[in-house]
Structure 1
């Protein structure tokens, strides 16, 4: 069975017909040609396909495209604006938070989501007490734990996120 859906991808409305079993990741990559989110494990375990859906981070390989009909989908490619790269993207470069770059689009989208969560005061498993979360190394590591980097660029990733969140 197929369905016609509309996704607002990186600020542009995109209409597409998809099989109702198609994941958001496959709709983006295979049907719309949006290659920023990567297909790593295709099981929701690595985070390389992370995008922002209506401002919240989503592992797109586990989300059905039809369930996101009408949603605002932001990929790492859509974070930049007329002034240049997003602050998180600039911080990743400045802090050597990438090596091969395969996981970077998902890491960047997840980092933007993390910063929004902390700003909103959402606690994580390592947030102490009822206080608003502070962007400590432990807090960043916990919140980014769903995004894996096979190259081991974690120190730079944590530093980049803390720099932007400061």
Structure 2
């Protein structure tokens, strides 16, 4: 089966349908999946970040704020391995508590869903070409723009979220 950007985006949307919580955020920061024919370079990442911040705050960030942002690029493994390991550890902890009679199956199920989410999302983005994760940070701002990107043919599939990190 030939992978298209549309099919990749659809596959990723299916992963986040039931569980969409990014573990690096202190608030609810659901991923939004999109495709574009535009080249995703640093300028495009900063533009996407500006749009996310404007949508979140309801007002456009100031020029001075926008000029202080920095971009950090990471690999899927650098980001997903710690997230998956933390989720597995939490699942193991809940399993031990369940054995001791101090946790519920519902709690165990939620932790299992978290592990499944990271593994499936990682696998979906491994199918695209040149997957990367970008974080856009600004001093004295708890919001961090996050973009998971990869190409399929001439299009780009990306997930975006505005994380809260204090």
Same fold (TM over 0.5): no
Q: Which has the larger radius of gyration?
A: 2
Higher strand share: 2
TM-score bracket, normalised by the shorter chain, equals under 0.3
Higher helix share: 2
Compute the TM-score of the two structures, normalised by the length of structure 1.
0.24
Compute the TM-score of the two structures, normalised by the length of structure 2.
0.24
